[in-house]
Chain A
Amino acid sequence: MEPGETAIKDTSNDLRLGQVQLHQEVELISIDLPDDQAEPFFERGFLPGCRICPVRSSPSGDPIVNIDGSQMAIRRETANCLCVRTLSDL
């Protein structure tokens, strides 16, 4: 990309956090939620560029991730609103 050019984002094919395998570190691209629902995530460090690593699943299959040294449990449906990319894509 040339400097100044902005990429048009097509998020439909992006990897979602809910699909990431355990212990695979990924990087957050964007959060597909309205501002007021996304803010709690921003506050807790879920910002574009941050590293997230799922460490386990809850008994009902909701991912528990490591981010900035904290552990967060996210509902499956919510995790599918977080667009991420695996580090090997960089």
Chain B
Amino acid sequence: MSTSDENAHLEKVAETTGKIPLVALAGAPNSGKTTLFNRLTGLRQKVANYPGVTVEKHIGELRSNGQVVADLVDLPGIHGFSARTLDEKITKDVLEGHVEGIRKPDAIVMVTDSTRLESQLMLVEQILELNLPTLLVLNMSDELQERGGSVNAEALAERLGIRVVWTNGRTGEGTEKIMAYISEIKSGNSTSATVSGRLKRSTHPKKLPVLERFSERKKAVKEVVSEAKFVPPEPSATSGYLDSLVLHRIWGPIIFFTVVLFVFQSIFTWAAPLMDGIELLIETSGVWLSRVLPDTWLKSLLVNGIWAGVGSVVVFLPQILILFLFIGILEDSGYMARAAVIADRLMYRIGLQGKAFLPLLSGYACAVPAILSARTIEDDRDRLATIFVTPFMTCSARLPVYVLLIAAFIPNEPFLGTFLNQRAGVLILLYALGIVAAIMTAFILKRTLLKAEPSAFIMELPPYRLPSLQTLGLRLLDRSRIFLLRVGKIIFSVTIILWILTQFPRTEFGPPDIEESALGQIGHIIEPAIEPLGFDWRIGIGLITSLAAREVIVGTLGTIYGIETADEESLDLQSALQESLSFPAAIGLLVFFAFALQCMATVATVRRETGGWKWASFQFFYMLALGYFGALVAFNIF
């Protein structure tokens, strides 16, 4: 089994030493693979990226009696190895040992949804061709039985020449069998587990054109399942009943809108008190730090730079967590697929597709994880268009800016009777503005730069399942980690850079006045450009600092106007703004923030996801131009 090629790969060390075996979990999407991975590894897992690509690498440790038994890697769910999508290509490369930073797995655990065995086994032939010790897992055993299906696992094992075990991902039953199998795998050249899996075929696979290849494979799989006496289960009655409601001509869209509204409402009702709590914490600790530390530049760096920077990132966690919790529930329960179907027709008309629904919805929390979730869109152009317009969704960071300006300039008076007041009305309009901009941009993009033949759309609707709390929790941890590390890092570093710009050139008394500092000078330099919008150099500085993250402008304006501990609710800051901004200019500023991409973290993410600076910079300047002209128009018509 050993080839010189394999030996070279054995030299590559994964996260730990070469003595611990690496086992890969592979399988189709919706097979319960990740739930099993989470059961096996628990919190002992981490997420990184495969080098040079945007696919996430999930690695975890399997422990038994406190000892590390094996490293596990949860590969992306795939339907085949065609390398048409990045997920498929990476999975194949990892299994063949061609990926840097992760050595060739010593064994494969292939997880299948036993209720759909015939279609899920399409992958098994290609897995067996890899000639690695393989374990076939028949997951969802309870569902198979409940719905009247069955299969002879022993016959299946014999026919394929590999071990087969039953599991129930929901209860965890059978996980110990997987652990037992993995314990037998030794790192390196071990062949103690059966390896000679074989799927008999009459013709040789690689030479055939696409369709023939699949047809041959299908024939072979059909033989296997019939020998294993597979009885397909009856369709799930519960899922059918739920779908008749969820996809009903009238009830479907109603349920859809209710769900979306509910998810939004959760941001405003539940996140708000939590955010207030965090802000209070940051503020009081900042004040304490300020008192305790001696008055040096270090103190300024710590309190005004670092601590404020950390605070501005952490304060968003409640919103992000709550939103992603609900999205996670929708995804795992199976509803998200139905939502994508309902949304598809509308999305299609504006140039996107149903699967864009998830990134766009997630964008209301934060564009960074939202853009990452666009990976599920297989069509390149659709995906690019979705990534391009996602930042128009009114993210959490825009809210402090909106709240500040609305409180300062919009009277707290009723609008449509007592039902809606003017302030809420303006807020809703701003949200709508973002949506309109997104729709128009997507429409134009798909007709010009990203023009393509209409793409074929197919969406698998998995049976409805109760989400596993563990999977939900772990995914939440994952999303927060992405946010804190990626977004946080960038906000943080840009905040420090900006702080540095406020510290120079130094006067004999220490740091310069804000107007004399490097930052202030930059504000003066751009003033002519923003004067037509009714902005002065102070707002100019705010626009620059908010490049780090939109909400930073609030703190910056506080500093500029000499207001301590300014936030969007500070009355002092509001009055200071009323003096330096006219009403039309304030509206213009709101419009600017609705459109402009004031978020380096988003730019960085887009750059990663699109593999270069071309689209990221195009997006940045396009949104900046839109913001500028939007503000110009607003300034002139109000």
Tell whether A and B belong to one assembly.
yes
**Which residues in A have some Cβ–Cβ distance to B below 8 Å?**
33, 35-45, 47-50, 55-62, 64, 66-75, 77-78, 81
CB-CB < 8 A to A64: which residues of B?
Answer: 243, 247, 341, 461
**What is the bound-complex CA distance between A14 and B160, given in angstroms?**
39
Would you list 6 pairs from A and B whose C-beta atoms are within 8 A, ordered by A residue? A33-B456, A45-B218, A59-B247, A71-B463, A73-B459, A75-B457
CB-CB < 8 A to A48: which residues of B?
Answer: 211, 215
Q: Which residue of B lies closest to A42 (CB)?
A: B214
Total contacts A-B at CB 8 Å:
122
- Proximity string of chain B (116-145) to chain A, C-beta cutoff 8 Å, 1 when within and 0 when not: 101100100000000000000000000000
Extra 16 A-B pairs, beta carbons < 8 Å, given A69-B119, A72-B459, A75-B457:
A38-B210, A47-B211, A47-B215, A48-B215, A58-B341, A59-B342, A62-B345, A68-B116, A68-B119, A68-B232, A69-B118, A70-B116, A71-B460, A73-B344, A75-B348, A78-B458
CB <8 Å contact, B457 and A43: no
Q: Which residue of A lies closest to B247 (CB)?
A: A58
CB-CB < 8 A to B211: which residues of A?
Answer: 38, 42, 47-48
Given A35-B210, A56-B243, A59-B252, verify A44-B215 contact (CB < 8 Å). Answer: no
CB-CB < 8 A to A33: which residues of B?
Answer: 456
Q: Does B248 contact A (CB under 8 A)?
A: yes
CB <8 Å contact, A37 and B461: no
- Proximity string of chain B (228-272) to chain A, C-beta cutoff 8 Å, 1 when within and 0 when not: 000011010001100110011110110000000000000000000
Quote the shortest CB–CB distance from A83 to chain B (angstroms).
13
CB <8 Å contact, A37 and B459: no
Quote the shortest CB–CB distance from A30 to chain B (angstroms).
9
Q: Does B96 contact A (CB under 8 A)?
A: no
**What is the bound-complex CA distance between A42 and B215, given in angstroms?**
8
Quote the shortest CB–CB distance from B253 to chain A (angstroms).
6
User: Taking chain A's interface residues, is the majority helix, strand, or loop, or is none over half, making it mixed?
Assistant: mixed
CB <8 Å contact, A72 and B458: yes
CB-CB < 8 A to A47: which residues of B?
Answer: 211, 214-215, 218
CB <8 Å contact, B460 and A70: yes
Q: Which residue of B lies closest to A77 (CB)?
A: B454
CB-CB < 8 A to A37: which residues of B?
Answer: 455-456
**What is the bound-complex CA distance between A43 and B120, given in angstroms?**
10
**What is the bound-complex CA distance between A36 and B456, given in angstroms?**
10
Q: Does B545 contact A (CB under 8 A)?
A: no
Q: Which residue of A lies closest to B123 (CB)?
A: A43
**What is the bound-complex CA distance between A35 and B123, given in angstroms?**
19
CB-CB < 8 A to B598: which residues of A?
Answer: none
CB <8 Å contact, B79 and A72: no
**What is the bound-complex CA distance between A41 and B378, given in angstroms?**
13
CB <8 Å contact, B456 and A71: no
CB-CB < 8 A to B210: which residues of A?
Answer: 35, 38-39, 42
Q: Does B471 contact A (CB under 8 A)?
A: no
**What is the bound-complex CA distance between A3 and B430, given in angstroms?**
69
Q: Which of B249, B455, B456, B460 has the most CB of A within 10 A?
A: B456
